[in-house]
Structure 1
Amino acid sequence: MESVRSIAEVMQEPDLELNEGRQSVPSVSGRLTLRGVTYRYADADGDALHGIDLDIAAGETIALVGSSGSGKSTLLNLVLGFVRPTSGRILLDGVDMGSLDLRTVRQHISVVPQESVLFEGTVRENVAYGLPAARDREVTAALEAANALDFVRELPEGWDTRVGQHGARLSGGQRQRLAIARALIRDPRILLLDEATSALDAESEASVRDALARLMRGRTTLVVAHRLSTVRQADRILVLESGRIVEAGDHEELVGRGGRYAALHAGSLG
């Protein structure tokens, strides 16, 4: 019955993404531009994001910080194309994303969320999910870069070990490293990290953080994080409040200003 309810929810969902006839995207450099981007959720009294102007260079790492409800996750969803701006434009490599086939755009994007989504199946099937032609050496390389190869080799059947529903047979750190391996094997040009280490203990976080550093190298990266260790190495930190960018700069610069970021640093980021 639960499966029937889930299917019914999908069938009744009115929003359908229309991609037919739109421009295919065979390759991406990763430059993102937001011009006057505003987004308001249906039936909301105010804007979740308002008048955002932002230029992100290919390969740049941007950290998004701010209190709950400040617009961080909405910004990630706009970049993914899960929602479209109420007004304004988002450009990928200089082209309005509204004119692009988002299915092809997402082939160049990987997401590592706070809670990794693993399916009932083997380690290999989870890492190579959606890539039926993935070769063994590619899976091995992704696991190694994600600091996951050693623990996978120790599993009863190696990467043929079934992980259980939602990865129940693995620890939180192990699940997150498999999520990173899944992102790595796609060699994305754009990477979105949404609280990717916040649910981990200190020991697991250190291993995952090292894997994330490899994953982020050379890729356009947007990081939503509360922990200072994930934020301070970003090229730029954007502080959002009530859907607006209120501060921007690197860690040392923002701490020195003594503004909103410095207060977050002294409190929840510390």
Structure 2
Amino acid sequence: MFQVLKKLYEILDGPERKALYAVLFIVFVIGVFEIVGIASIIPIISVMDDPQVLEDNKYLFIYKQFLLNVGIEKTSEVLAVLAITSFTMIALSTALKSVGIYLTTKFIELRRHSLSKKLLSGYLRNDYQFFINSSTSDLTKTILSEVDRIVAQLIRPIINMISYVFLLVFVLTFLFFINPLVTGLIIGVFGLLYLVLYVGIRQKIKELGEQTVSANKGRFAVTMEAFTSIKYLKFSGLEHYYTQKFEEESYRFSNSVALQFVFNQIPKHIVELVAFGGIILISIVTLISRLGAGEQAAGTIFPILGAYALSAYKLQPAIQAIFNGIVSLRYGRVALDNLFKSLSEISPDFPRAKDKSDSIKVNFNKYLQLKNLSFRYANRNVNVLDDVNLIVGANSRIGVVGKTGSGKSTLINLVLGLLHPSDGQILVDGVEITDSNMGAWRQLIGYVPQDVTLVDASIYENIAFGLGLDDIDLEFAEHCARAALVDEGLLNNSRDKNVGEGGAKLSGGQKQRIGIARALYKNPKLLVLDEATSGLDPNTEKLVLDSISKFSENLTIVMITHRYSNLEMCNEVYEMFDGKINKWSKNA
């Protein structure tokens, strides 16, 4: 349990920990006011039952003398002042509790915001290889679902548990001074009851936690798989298959959450029964003890029973909240471990490119050199690229051909800085590209993949990807679109019309041309085309490539292609085979 609390504390940053201390302080003050409110009831009941207590009790006698000095003499008036004082204390406690609820809720819900943001930001700043080795549905699940679960089913119950611990300690201390025997009996009975309940369900709660995490992972995986495969899914009539797969995981998830809630609530009703019996038992024990002391039982038992009754009213939700918190620690441990693991994966130790504003400037006026470049993926012994040497002159047109799996995409990913060389160097005008200048290097590159990703926005927003419509240079964006031969009809009617999710309203060729326009909008010095025109017919493809070549005199083009007809525009062509690169003759 303490390990879970420690992990929860460790995922908070400095300002969040200060906010937590502030919340706990407010909770502590609320506990003080709660106990004062409970204590203020006893004098009222005592005076109502026996006015003589104003003379016999030294504290009430001093209070009465104070009131006499301000002109309050009658017992009824003293009782009224006591009632007003008690009401004021309880009202202050209620008002403070409202403030506490606001601050506590705000603290808890903002952790949903900060944890989700921290995860997304951290994931996006990780190396590209991290995403190669990760499941997109898992990452999405962690950010959107697991964080919600941890907030709702772990952080909130635990914060409530801690706040009620303060109240429990204060109330039990107060009751201990009234009657140590009865208070000790309360602690023993309720402590033993909850211990038996917890021991009985702790293993089941752990299993439910594991099952919930597993089923939630399955829900996201099936949903992501269905939507990303929607075209083939519809074609193959697999709607029922995916619905059934989702149903299985969704039922497991919902059933686990329901059972966890039931296990949290069942003790509440058992405790209500025990508490009712406890009040009767306390009445009998107190009556016997008073009679044994030779006191008038009826004259002294009512104030004490009133204090115990009000304390029971306050303690019942407190004890239940503490139990819920302990169960939640057990139930949410697997989800918290996964979150903790995810946060550790985005630690500052991971290599990442600096922001372009912080990067060392890179000039590309002479050449790009790949020197003794080798690459192998983590946990693999075989090089995907093996001692590659290549010089690309500025303003040249380079073609790269090769069979699938020959290393073409890996080569491009290294040039783009998405992967880091295992051995060797990438040099630009003699300067090695490292994390310190990667941001500046990427600013010089325009990249068009085979599968262009479009967002559900206008064509212009997709061309100037990452900018709002008000920040886009529409004239230059249109110039880039025309250079990529984007259809005139699309341009003339596209400012306020969205292209659909993933460009669903466009053809494959239209999407690729928008992707080319996007790369040109960066006004790059190096344009990398990775099968970027494969969705175009040969005639249109030739026109687009010719237009791109004329876009800028200072544009270097590296083109990956499987169509040998595209190589006519290239100054030099290289062929890749088994991770090695060799110059290729057009006449070969």
TM-score with structure 1 setting the length: 0.81
SS in 1 for 2:466: coil
SS in 2 for 1:51: strand
What is the Cα deviation at residue 108 of structure 1? 1.1
Q: In structure 2, what is the equivalent of residue 74 of structure 1?
A: 410
Change (3 A) 1:40 1:249: same
Match status 1:39 vs 2:371 = no
Change (3 A) 1:12 1:206: farther
Q: In structure 1, what is the equivalent of residue 463 of structure 2?
A: 127
For the Cα contact (< 8 Å) 1:60–1:220, is it kept in 2?
yes
Change (3 A) 1:13 1:76: farther
Q: In structure 1, what is the equivalent of residue 490 of structure 2?
A: 152
What is the Cα deviation at residue 27 of structure 1? 4.6
What is the Cα deviation at residue 151 of structure 1? 2.7
Distance in 2 (CA, whole Å) between partners of 1:5 and 1:214 is 46
What is the Cα deviation at residue 168 of structure 1? 0.6
SS in 1 for 2:495: helix
Distance in 2 (CA, whole Å) between partners of 1:33 and 1:130 is 30
Distance in 1 (CA, whole Å) between partners of 2:571 and 2:142 is 41
Match status 1:49 vs 2:185 = no
For the Cα contact (< 8 Å) 1:30–1:220, is it kept in 2?
no
What is the Cα deviation at residue 22 of structure 1? 7.1
Q: How does 1:37-186 map to 2 (within 5 A)?
A: 37-98=373-434, 100-132=436-468, 133-148=471-486, 150-153=488-491, 155=493, 158-186=494-522
Q: Which amino acid aligns with 1:55?
A: I
More deviation, 130-139/184-193: 130-139
Distance in 2 (CA, whole Å) between partners of 1:169 and 1:232 is 33
SS in 2 for 1:56: strand
What is the Cα deviation at residue 11 of structure 1? 5.9
SS in 2 for 1:232: helix
Match status 1:219 vs 2:555 = yes
More deviation, 207-216/55-64: 207-216
What is the Cα deviation at residue 69 of structure 1? 1.3
Change (3 A) 1:154 1:237: same
What is the Cα deviation at residue 126 of structure 1? 0.6
Distance in 1 (CA, whole Å) between partners of 2:568 and 2:485 is 22
Q: In structure 2, what is the equivalent of residue 243 of structure 1?
A: 579
Q: Which has the higher contact order (CA 8 A, sep 6+)?
A: 1
What is the Cα deviation at residue 195 of structure 1? 0.7
What is the Cα deviation at residue 39 of structure 1? 0.8
Aligned length: 250
What is the Cα deviation at residue 209 of structure 1? 3.4
What is the Cα deviation at residue 243 of structure 1? 0.8
Distance in 2 (CA, whole Å) between partners of 1:67 and 1:137 is 40
What is the Cα deviation at residue 207 of structure 1? 4.7
Q: In structure 2, what is the equivalent of residue 19 of structure 1?
A: 354
What is the Cα deviation at residue 114 of structure 1? 0.8
What is the Cα deviation at residue 139 of structure 1? 1.6
Q: Which amino acid aligns with 1:135?
A: D
Change (3 A) 1:194 1:11: farther
SS in 1 for 2:513: helix
CA deviations 1:61-82 (Å, max 9, x no partner) are 2111111111111111111111
For the Cα contact (< 8 Å) 2:373–2:425, is it kept in 1?
yes
SS in 2 for 1:160: coil
Q: In structure 2, what is the equivalent of residue 259 of structure 1?
A: none
Q: Which runs of 5+ in 1 are unaligned?
A: 256-261, 263-270
Q: Which amino acid aligns with 1:36?
A: N
Distance in 2 (CA, whole Å) between partners of 1:66 and 1:216 is 28
Distance in 2 (CA, whole Å) between partners of 1:98 and 1:16 is 10
Match status 1:5 vs 2:343 = no
Distance in 1 (CA, whole Å) between partners of 2:420 and 2:545 is 31
For the Cα contact (< 8 Å) 2:463–2:515, is it kept in 1?
yes
Q: In structure 1, what is the equivalent of residue 3 of structure 2?
A: none
What is the Cα deviation at residue 199 of structure 1? 3.1
Distance in 2 (CA, whole Å) between partners of 1:76 and 1:118 is 21
For the Cα contact (< 8 Å) 1:30–1:189, is it kept in 2?
no
CA deviations 1:222-245 (Å, max 9, x no partner) are 111001122232111111111112
For the Cα contact (< 8 Å) 2:372–2:388, is it kept in 1?
yes
Distance in 2 (CA, whole Å) between partners of 1:142 and 1:113 is 17
CA deviations 1:48-93 (Å, max 9, x no partner) are 1111111111111211111111111111111111111111111112
Change (3 A) 1:137 1:57: same
Q: Which amino acid aligns with 1:223?
A: M
Distance in 1 (CA, whole Å) between partners of 2:407 and 2:450 is 17
For the Cα contact (< 8 Å) 1:22–1:99, is it kept in 2?
no
Q: In structure 1, what is the equivalent of residue 94 of structure 2?
A: none
Change (3 A) 1:59 1:7: farther
Cα RMSD for the two superposed structures: 2.8
What is the Cα deviation at residue 149 of structure 1? 5.2
Q: In structure 2, what is the equivalent of residue 196 of structure 1?
A: 532
Q: In structure 1, what is the equivalent of residue 85 of structure 2?
A: none
Distance in 1 (CA, whole Å) between partners of 2:409 and 2:495 is 33
Distance in 1 (CA, whole Å) between partners of 2:466 and 2:366 is 22
Q: Which runs of 5+ in 2 are unaligned?
A: 1-135, 145-338
SS in 1 for 2:528: strand
TM-score with structure 2 setting the length: 0.39
Q: Which amino acid aligns with 2:450?
A: Q
The structure that is helix-richer by fraction is: 2
Q: Which amino acid aligns with 2:411?
A: L
What is the Cα deviation at residue 205 of structure 1? 3.1
The structure that is strand-richer by fraction is: 1
Distance in 1 (CA, whole Å) between partners of 2:474 and 2:397 is 30
What is the Cα deviation at residue 152 of structure 1? 1.8
